[in-house]
Amino acid sequence: MGTVRIPLPCSSFIEDCQAEERRVGDLTGRRALIAGGTRGIGAAIAEQLTDAGARVVVSARRRGDGNQAGHFIAADLFTPQGPSQLVADALAHLGEIDVLVDNAASQTRVPNGVLAMTDDDWLADLNGSLMSAVRLDRAVLPGMIAAGGGVIVHIGSGAARLPQPTALAYAAAKAALAAYSKGLANEVGRHNVRVNLVSPGVIETSALRARLQSLADESGTDLETARDQFLRNFPVPLGRLGTADDVASLVRFLVSPAASYLTGTDHVIDGGLLPTL
C-alpha cells in the first residue's frame, strides 16, 4: 500500500507543495500502539501507519490471519490489569509510545431488545468499549506527558448517535467514550497531548461480511443481494459501505503533524448516513 496523498493548499512553488504533502504522510520515527489491531479497522490502521514509517505494536487476544503489520503482543484488554500490562510490554519493545489508537470494543447483541438485556450484558460492553480505553490512557499518558506530547485516537461508533435496540449497551458505551474523549482532551491539552474520536458508520469488515452472508443464506440469495438490501435499510448518501481503509486513512491523518491543531473532536466517517448536522 502506497503513501496516501492528500492535496493541500500551498504556495505556487511546487517544492513547497511536495514538502507539505510529505509532512502529512510521513510518520517516520513515531512509535504507535494499536489496541485491537489484528483485524478489520485495526489491521488497516496498523498497515497504514507502518507504511508511513511508524514503528507499530498491535494487540489482541489472538494473532490475526495472514501477514500482520507491526509487532504483535497478546493482551486481554477486558481485564483490569490487561491494559497496563500491554502498555508495559509495548514500552519494552518501542521504548516510548507517541501514538495510541484504541480500537478495542465489546458488542453484545440481544435480538429481543433492552428488556432482555442483563446486567452482565451491560457491564460487558461498558467494560470493553469504555473502561478498556480509560485504563489504556491511564497507563500511557504519564509517558506521553513526560516526553512532551503524544496523540490518542479512540475508535467510537456511529451507534452512539444512531443506537439500535439490539445493541443498546454498545451504543451507550460508545456515547460515554465520546464524552470521556472530549473531557480528556481538555485536561491533557496543556501537555501537548491530543485526543480525538473517530466514529465509523457501516464499515464492511469481515465481521459485517459474515453477517451479510448469513442474511443471504437465510433468504436464499447471494452476498451482493444482501448488501444491496442492507443499503436500502441503511441508506448511505454515497451509495456504498465504508471500508477499513477509509477509516485508517482518517486515523493516519489525525496522528500526523498536519493535524497538530485538532483535539477534542469527534470525526464521523459514515458516507453521510447520520441524518443530522
Of how many residues is the chain composed? 277
CA-CA distance, 104 to 195, in Å (whole number)?
Answer: 16
CA-CA distance, 199 to 267, in Å (whole number)?
Answer: 6
Query: What does DSSP assign to residue 156?
Result: -
Is residue 50 within 8 A of residue 70, CB to CB? The reply is yes
Q: Which three cell numbers stand for residue 176?
A: 460515554
Catalytic center residues: 170
Strands (E), 67-209: 71-74, 99-102, 150-155, 193-200
CA-CA distance, 244 to 37, in Å (whole number)?
Answer: 12
Is residue 167 within 8 A of residue 108, CB to CB? The reply is yes
Distance set, CA 49 to CA 59, 137, 159, 166 (Å):
15, 20, 26, 34
Between helix 168-188 and helix 132-147 the angle, nearest 10°, is: 20
